[in-house]
Chain A
């Protein structure tokens, strides 16, 4: 039964790693694009938030399932 906690930890950890790398890359492109064309900065920022939400989708599904495992399945 203790292995469930390890499983949930792996789920959350790997998901977090993927999300952080993805959003970090996006943020870098945002800053670079805003530096090249400052007049497009608000539009790029809106697109950045959209992309960040999309990238976060699978890791957050993983976090939801992991929390379900910890609190409902493992008592």
Chain B
């Protein structure tokens, strides 16, 4: 597990994780980038209509502006939050389970075979999960950007 980071440290790169997405800062950074893009394109394509969309949306009456604003802002903020945390949760839990199954090897000699089988099984499942999560991040980014380009 420390093979690649140690090799890179010998080559001069001091801090490199093998799976950077296990840090929530990385995934939230990507999600905030998508959020900034969303707002930029919303304002560029719709102009002032962006504010109209935020304030008039479920209830189309000027009296309901605070209620509309609250609900729309919660929905707007939930998007990058869930995007970043979904990726972080999957990556962190995956790596943690790898480490835990590896810790099972040190319990006793009889546990080594079940631990090896578990390790193989989890590796196969994890490969499916990480491809799926990357696909979902990409699809959701594209969906949010297309929602920014059109009206409800």
Mark A residues whose CB is within 8 Å of B: 49-50, 52-54, 56-58, 60-65, 67-68, 71
Contacts and interface: CB of A to CB of B under 8 A. Distances in A.
Interface residues of A, dominant DSSP: helix
B23 to A, nearest CB: 12
Contact of A50 (B86, B89, B92, B135): B135
Interface of B: 82, 85-86, 88-90, 92-93, 96, 132-133, 135-136, 139
A63 B135 contact: no
B41 to A, nearest CB: 22
B94 to A, nearest CB: 9
A60 B136 CA distance: 14
Q: Which 7 A-B pairs have the closest CB atoms?
A: A64-B89, A57-B86, A60-B89, A53-B136, A61-B89, A64-B92, A63-B93
Interface residues of B, dominant DSSP: helix
A63 B89 contact: yes
A60 B93 contact: yes
A60 B135 contact: no
Nearest to A66: B93
Given A52-B132, A53-B133, A61 B139 contact: no
Contacts of A61: 85-86, 88-89
A67 B96 contact: yes
Contacts of A68: 92
